[in-house]
Amino acid sequence: MRPVNVLACLFVAVGIMFASLLHEVHAQDRSGQSAGTLAARLPSDYRRQIAEYVRVRNRYVLRDAQISAPYERWGGLFAGGTFIAICVKLHRDNPLGIVVQDNHVVTFDGGKLHEVGMGTESCDNLSRFTELIQPPAAPQPQRTGRSAPAPQATRPTAPGGSRP
């Protein structure tokens, strides 16, 4: 066996072990603390701030929106370990009118909202994002700009069914 092949196999094995270690750390972070404990470390109006953030950046019709409970996410050794993240799942129209799904991951750093990624992970532990999606308004009758024709007066009929 060539030395290059042995080194390549060793490199792949170390990479697989490192990836599995990071995956286990990430899995532990998601279940480490309760959502209530994590939410206490966020601004009190974090849901409203996220809703406003999405409204400003989304220019398409929103069909549905869901938000996750706060969870800890692994950010890497150079980013300081873990941070509190919130996932937002949007169903919206695209430019062709087809409904698509977007997943946004946001966090707060020093009280300021930052987007971590879009579409980088699946959202779970979701609930309806009521601050972003309002219940549909009652349908209004369509108005064409012209006034409706006035009702025609009916003439009384003479006895026997004939008209005078």
pLDDT tens by residue, 31-50? 456 777 888 899 999 999 99
Answer for the pair 65, 88: CB distance below 8 angstroms, yes or no.
Answer: yes
Please give the DSSP secondary-structure letter assigned to residue 76: -
Mean pLDDT within 102-129: 88
- Report pLDDT for 124: 86
Query: End-to-end alpha-carbon separation of the chain, Å?
Result: 115
Answer for the pair 57, 92: CB distance below 8 angstroms, yes or no.
Answer: no
Q: Name the token pair of 162.
A: 């004939």
| Residue whose token pair is 């308004």 | 137
The Cα-based distances of 36 to 70, 71, 85 in angstroms read: 8, 10, 13
- DSSP H or E run through 15: helix 3-32
The Cα-based distances of 45 to 13, 48, 123, 127 in angstroms read: 46, 5, 21, 17
pLDDT tens digits, one per residue of 36-87? 788 889 999 999 999 999 999 999 999 999 999 999 988 878 777 889 999 9
Answer for the pair 38, 70: CB distance below 8 angstroms, yes or no.
Answer: yes
What type of residue is 43?
A: P
Please give the DSSP secondary-structure letter assigned to residue 133: -
